[in-house]
Structure 1
């Protein structure tokens, strides 16, 4: 396909679309039908059905010493490290509330520490958190633990303590190495710092290092993206997440630190995406699903070849488990039969936990139709294929035929497959199977596809 044709496709499909880390997406949850008691009942049932396959834990650690202005995460800015122990104690108490629901000892297969900045917490406190989570649980034989680290404050001691606790994967938020961009987004770290934490990780036996990169940030140019990825090439992390910046200052006031005039125009942003994607592919990375690239030596790539890739609130994973429990402020649990989200303020969260009660404030109970739609979207997002038997009359055939004509989908006797070009438009293809998706309201809820 010629470059100008690809550019036209990128322009056409650069519309607001969900990232589909869940279905239904959070804005489409039926909160009126949800109740804590119903959720607890479904959690017990899910554990009985799937507990032996292992539980995934996502721990939200919201604290940061300074605000990265581009950030869309739930954070609490403070330099007071006295908050560490009370918060970890609360997370462990919340975990106890879950374990009390289960008849048997839970088997932990996956732990991910997200934030905020998990490395805001001291190595000692992080070690005590993991020890507390494992105290009354067993480890799955194929367990995998990962965490997000800020290159500026991730120390050798952090990496060593977590390696000793069983962590083998780490993700560093890089975003861009350009100094002007870093100043604008208040996320400063040098290449030397990133090189150091990457080398420490490998020295300590971490089997996978991920870099998060973002395109569309203020003052970004083709030159800054090119320079950033050339520096990344010197370190060759096993995984790279290359995300589109979502500018939503009405939701995230920190983004008002710069104006829309400082951001790349839509066409320029699309060019940044194409430049970065082409460079990563030329470096030998394989595109895995939405926004993700891996070396062919990484387990995520192997899982994609074997049809074992899975997607949830933690992104792409090799673990297809159906029990994901979110602990901490604003965390979301996905227990196959229901979703539930914790309150979004630290004070509210702590108040609930100290009272000995779940901090859940909203959720969604899955219906049969939800399950079927979720299965379709996961097939597209993870396996890049969907069978004829799963395509219902609700799918817009006109749009599907247009995608076939454009070379995004290929039709075969038993269904449709996403092409190599179509892999860049997975969010748009997933939206074909989402009965809740409405273009006219999407702009107020979701980020641009490109």
Structure 2
């Protein structure tokens, strides 16, 4: 819809998407993905229906169906072409998601983890079947390596034991490269606690379940995490057993909320914030 695209300063005519999809397949890509966003300013449920109908004409192998993240404090004009009241309400966003999910299922797509859908012929679906799905900064992947190299200004690299980010200006980036050095300016080495929490969060995001039956998985704050999730258990969204947590089908839309309970850094930095409302 042109009104929506104008508000967010991102123009994606269908013909451009069609050409890019067809050209990707012509040069040998065996898995083509589309990103669809719901909850945009001026967007309606009818717009979602129209977008998915057009997407079905191209049948990409996988689809990311994201909720729009409203972050107007970030520099740039991308999110300043509209007012807060131009955004759909939480109830309308929920209807958009459920409508899109139903239409994608009818078209043959299977829900993968959170926000993603794939055809059964795609490697992403096969990774789920084989319990080999992985998630990184870029989303879900069936790749065998957990290492990700970030190229370019501000890019983040993941070595699995730590993270490193490149400098944020082009001038400084090339200046450091010309010296034969890596253009890094900050990073973080994972602690033992970080590694345990990552394991649980990735298990939940990729397999919708996690367990803590040994010392490699258990951490002292786990009882507090489970207490935070009791309300979701009472609502029938998750199941908590002696040493295992399972996200039920009804709880799929709330995978992020479950993961946030395991994010101790987030809990410690914003203990008074209604964290569960941040993903709506």
Match of 1:246 in 2: 69
- Residue pair 1:238, 1:295 contacting (<8 A) in 2 also: yes
Q: Is the 8 A contact 1:244 1:448 kept in 2?
A: no
Flag structure 1 segments of 5+ consecutive residues without an equivalent: 1-177
Give the deviation of 1:400 after TM superposition.
Answer: 2.7
**How many Å apart are 1:197 and its aligned residue?**
2.6
The alpha carbon displacement at 1:299 in A equals 0.5
Matched, 1:270 2:100: no
| 1:235-278 Cα distance to aligned partner (Å, 9 max, x none) | 21111011111111111331112222222233322322222222
- Offset of residue 188 of structure 1: 2.2
Asked whether 1:286 is paired with 2:116, we answer no
**Residue matched to 2:150:** 326
Give 1:394's aligned residue.
221
Matches of residues 294-309 of structure 1 in structure 2 within 5 Å?
294-309=118-133
State the Cα deviation string for residues 50-74 of structure 1 (Å, max 9, x = none).
xxxxxxxxxxxxxxxxxxxxxxxxx
Task: Say how many residue pairs are matched.
Answer: 273
Q: Which runs of no fewer than 5 residues in structure 2 stay unpaired?
A: none
* Partner Cα separation in structure 1 for residue 54 and residue 273 of structure 2: 34
2:81 corresponds in structure 1 to: 257
Superposed, 1:114-263 pairs within 5 Å as: 178-254=1-77, 255-263=79-87
8 A contact 1:246–1:447 mirrored in 2: no
Classify the secondary structure of the residue corresponding to 1:250: coil
Q: 1:325–1:411: structure 2 CA closer, same or farther, 3 Å change rule?
A: same
Which moves more between the two structures, 307-316 or 348-357? 348-357
Structure 1: how far apart are the matches of 2:57 and 2:274? 39
Computed over aligned residues only, the root mean square deviation of the Cα atoms, in angstroms, reads 2.5
User: CA 1:251–1:447 in 2, change beyond 3 Å: closer, same or farther?
Assistant: farther
**Is 1:366 aligned to residue 164 of structure 2?**
no
Alignment partners' CA distance in 2, 1:334 and 1:442: 31
Query: 185-194 or 242-251: which moved more?
Result: 185-194
Residue 416 of structure 1: aligned partner: 245
Flag the 1:378–1:393 CA change in 2: closer, same or farther, 3 A.
Answer: same
The offset of 1:223, in angstroms, is: 1.0
Of 214, 229, 234, 1:405 maps to: 234
Larger Rg: 1
Determine the C-alpha separation between the residues in 2 that align with 1:274 and 1:247: 20
Match of 2:279 in 1: 449
Q: Deviations over 1:57-115 (max 9, x none)?
A: xxxxxxxxxxxxxxxxxxxxxxxxxxxxxxxxxxxxxxxxxxxxxxxxxxxxxxxxxxx
Q: Which residue of 2 aligns with 1:425?
A: 254
Give the CA deviation at 1:443: 7.2
- What is the Cα deviation at residue 292 of structure 1? 0.9
Q: Is the 8 A contact 1:212 1:243 kept in 2?
A: yes
CA contact 2:135–2:206 (8 Å) conserved in 1: yes
**Distance in 2 between residues matched to 1:364 and 1:446, nearest whole Å:** 26
Indicate the SS of the match to 1:380: helix
Q: TM-score normalized by structure 1?
A: 0.56
Q: Which one has more relative contact order, counting CA pairs under 8 Å at least 6 apart?
A: 1
Partner of 1:313: 137
Work out the CA distance in 1 between the residues paired with 2:122 and 2:273: 35
CA distance change for structure 1 residues 191 and 325 in 2, over 3 Å: closer, same or farther?
closer
Q: 1:307 to 1:270 in 2, by over 3 A?
A: same
